């Protein structure tokens, strides 16, 4: 097919390997810069589970703990995080595998775009991956999402190389990366199934080696199958379904967070508008380019085969998650749609490349502008982070050795809070929001009355010392001690206490340290 009427037809001849390499380097550095801006955000949520496991257990015990009810995830990320945390004591080291994988996904997207539609598509794909707010966030989150995305792209690249050359080592790599993707996150299975279906359909000569390689991947994964089956029947799944919501509005929010934000932060209207406009323009360019049979000939699948592959890989996860929800297991949410990002950037790059220059450039600029707006928001500490690090530093500086700490912030999935990640454990600390049972920690919020009981014990333990209370809201003035806790926090401060100092730390929600003493 000719590319003369397309953006790629205009640009491909000018994009020498050296120029494309320099542009790719610049794009990767921009993506890394955004990721490093978010690197220092305080650990929250599921990251605490990763940190707790790799801090509490040795390497083999880490794998055993992940296979228990303490987690409903495969073990690969935890193994890598365990090695990363051996480099030092900084809690952020638990994010290092995610950062490496999420940054590597930028040039990997370029390579996939290059294999399917040339350098123009590859560079556009790399730019989309670099600026994706979702990928920026999960490249600096101590969980497996960016690792899964990188492994899925590697699996696809190995499959395409094996199809082209027929060499055994590429089929072995295909099997290896397929298995590693499944060892990263269970939702990789939808992407991998779609990929295999495409391979069997478009390449008859690859059917036998493709099936054998897939069988090899299954053999590599067999040791984890019993743990996977236990996870699929975990009593925590209904809790996760309830947290992410089951209404259609919750599903739509998940899609918006996937495209222009992240699961804890709703994207801005500007980011959504620009991303939506860019995707619409690129879709028009893709349709018109397909009708004109425009494409760049590459050593691999035909343009139509490449488009079919990208459509399957991009939408397979969302379709399967939606069908699963209709069948009664509702895990449809932004996190479980993460595999979409292994193909969506390349689909966008493919669309830009085959579109007319006007449509391709306009669509790409709109999309990248929207992603950039979203990336700025998810890296801004005032909108995307809760400053537990500064709160811990303040407490450590101001609290005397005999003072007592009471953390009234958020429910933690494990016996470790965000404050614990940064605060040296040299003082008595009371944490009503950590689990009060054994794995799978179903009582993470504590039984009724637990907050009041633990607060009373904290107050009794102070003697004549101070109690430093950490809350997730604006400070309470002296004289308003009765307002220090809310009904939602499940505790009431008895009379006889006074506020002697407060310090607030801005963020997505403010964190306030309040020092109280007996009157």
Q: How far apart are CA 154 and CA 415, in angstroms?
A: 36
Helix ranges, 166-247 (H): 168-184, 188-202, 207-221, 225-232, 237-244
Three-state SS string over 434-497 comes to: CCCCCCCCCCCCCCCCHHHHHHHHHHHHHCCCCEEEEECCCCCCCCCHHHCCCHHHCCCCCCCE
Q: How far apart are CA 132 and CA 129, in angstroms?
A: 5
Mean pLDDT for the stretch of residues 458-466? 95
| pLDDT digit string, tens, across residues 202-216 | 999 999 999 999 999
Task: Domain ranges for the chain, please list them.
Answer: 7-383, 388-518
| pLDDT digit string, tens, across residues 140-191 | 999 999 999 999 999 999 999 999 999 999 999 999 999 999 999 999 999 9
Give the predicted TM-score (pTM) of the model: 0.94
Q: What pLDDT is attached to residue 450? A: 78
Q: What pLDDT is attached to residue 296? A: 60
| pLDDT digit string, tens, across residues 400-429 | 999 999 999 987 888 899 999 999 888 999
Closest CA to 391 of 471, 275, 332, 337: 471
């Amino acid at each position: 097919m000719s590319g003369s009427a397309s953006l790629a037809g205009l640009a491909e001849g000018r994009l020498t390997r050296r120029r494309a390499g320099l542009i790719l380097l610049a794009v990767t550095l921009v993506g890394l810069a955004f990721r490093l801006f978010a690197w220092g955000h305080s650990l929250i949520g599921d990251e605490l589970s990763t940190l707790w496991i790799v801090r509490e257990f040795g390497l083999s015990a880490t794998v055993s703990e992940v296979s228990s009810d303490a987690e409903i995830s495969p073990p690969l990320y935890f193994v890598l995080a365990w090695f990363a945390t051996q480099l030092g004591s900084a809690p952020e080291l638990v994010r290092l595998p995610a950062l490496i994988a999420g940054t590597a996904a930028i040039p990997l997207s370029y390579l996939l775009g290059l294999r399917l539609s040339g350098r123009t598509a590859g560079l556009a794909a790399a730019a989309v991956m670099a600026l994706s707010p979702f990928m920026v966030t999960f490249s600096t989150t101590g969980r497996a999402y960016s690792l899964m995305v990188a492994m899925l792209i590697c699996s696809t690249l190995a499959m395409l190389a094996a199809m082209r050359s027929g060499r055994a080592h590429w089929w072995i790599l295909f099997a290896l990366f397929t298995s590693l993707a499944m060892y990263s996150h269970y939702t990789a299975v939808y992407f991998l199934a779609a990929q295999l279906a495409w391979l069997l359909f478009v390449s008859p000569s690859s059917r036998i080696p493709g099936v054998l390689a897939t069988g090899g991947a299954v053999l590599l994964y067999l040791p984890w199958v019993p743990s996977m089956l236990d996870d699929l029947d975990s009593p925590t799944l209904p809790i996760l379904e309830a947290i992410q919501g089951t209404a259609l509005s919750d599903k739509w929010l998940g899609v918006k967070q996937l495209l222009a934000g992240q699961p804890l932060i709703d994207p801005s209207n500007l980011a959504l508008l620009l991303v939506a406009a860019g995707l619409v323009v690129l879709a028009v360019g893709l349709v018109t380019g397909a009708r004109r049979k425009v494409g760049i000939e590459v050593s691999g699948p035909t343009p139509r085969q490449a488009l079919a592959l990208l459509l399957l890989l991009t939408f397979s996860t969302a379709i399967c998650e939606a069908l699963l929800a209709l069948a009664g297991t509702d895990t449809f949410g932004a996190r479980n749609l993460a595999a979409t990002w292994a193909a969506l950037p390349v689909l966008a790059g493919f669309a830009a490349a085959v579109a007319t220059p006007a449509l391709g450039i306009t669509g790409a600029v709109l999309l990248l502008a929207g992603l950039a707006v979203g990336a700025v928001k998810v890296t801004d500490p005032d909108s995307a982070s809760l400053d537990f690090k500064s709160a811990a530093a303040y407490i450590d500086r101001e609290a005397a050795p005999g003072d007592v700490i009471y953390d009234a912030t958020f429910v933690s999935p494990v016996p470790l809070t965000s404050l614990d990640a940064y605060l040296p454990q040299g003082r008595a600390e009371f944490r009503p929001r950590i689990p009060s049972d054994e794995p799978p920690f179903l009582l993470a919020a504590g039984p009724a009355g637990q907050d009041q009981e633990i607060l009373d014990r904290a107050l009794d333990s102070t003697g004549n010392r101070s109690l430093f209370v950490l809350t997730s809201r604006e400070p309470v003035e002296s004289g308003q001690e009765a307002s220090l806790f809310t009904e939602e926090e499940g505790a009431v401060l008895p009379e006889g206490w006074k506020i002697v100092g407060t310090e607030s730390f801005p963020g997505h929600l403010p964190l306030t340290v309040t020092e109280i003493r007996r009157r």
